[in-house]
Amino acid sequence: MKTIQLTVNGVQCSITCPPAKTLLDVLREDLGLTASKECCGKGECGSCSVLINNEAACSCLVLAGQAEGQDIITCEGVGLTPNLDVIQESFVEEGATQCGYCTPGIIVSAKAFLNGINHIPTTDEIKTALGGNLCRCTGYTKIIKAVQSAAAKNNSKKETITG
């Protein structure tokens, strides 16, 4: 057992667990944050995606001991009702979710992607950015639309601030 200090959604946490436990299990079991999901457990599907120091990563492949001192953001940290993030609002408006299992991971990946750009992304750019997130209900058309409309909202917000 090791005691590990990390920041999750802005909150300092201290957890005692085996160091080779996955970050995903720490989030779900030790911290009760169940938005991140386990599906493949091998880095292939992205349903466990979280931000580590603002970059999307698969929490099913990060070991707890490696999360020491890191800044983690899960889908809960992107936004919760009633304070949803623009991306989450767009997913609701576009109906970009079916069973919902992939959704938290996609929201997190989309958040990292939109944080890094200043334009409305093309379909191809979104496909590349979200290539590591699978949706078995195959609602990709609406997911792509939701990301584009979130980018449009972000842009018009920036224009009102600067203009």
Residue numbers of the site for ligand FAD (CB under 6 A)? 42-44
Taking CB under 6 A as the rule, does residue 139 contact ligand FES?
yes
**Prior bond of 82 cis (ω within 30°):** yes
User: Which residue, 43 or 117, has its beta carbon nearer to ligand FES?
Assistant: 43
Read off the tokens for 125: 């750019």
Which of ligand FES, other proteins, ligand FAD, none does residue 101 bind to, with CB < 5 to 8 Å depending on kind?
Answer: ligand FES
Taking CB under 6 A as the rule, does residue 80 contact ligand FES?
no
Which of ligand FAD, other proteins, ligand FES, none does residue 131 bind to, with CB < 5 to 8 Å depending on kind?
Answer: other proteins
Among 24, 26, 80, 79, which Cα is nearest to 47's?
24
Taking CB under 8 A as the rule, does residue 35 contact other proteins?
no
- At position 149, the amino acid (one-letter code) is S
Residues contacting 100, CB < 8 A, separation 6+: none
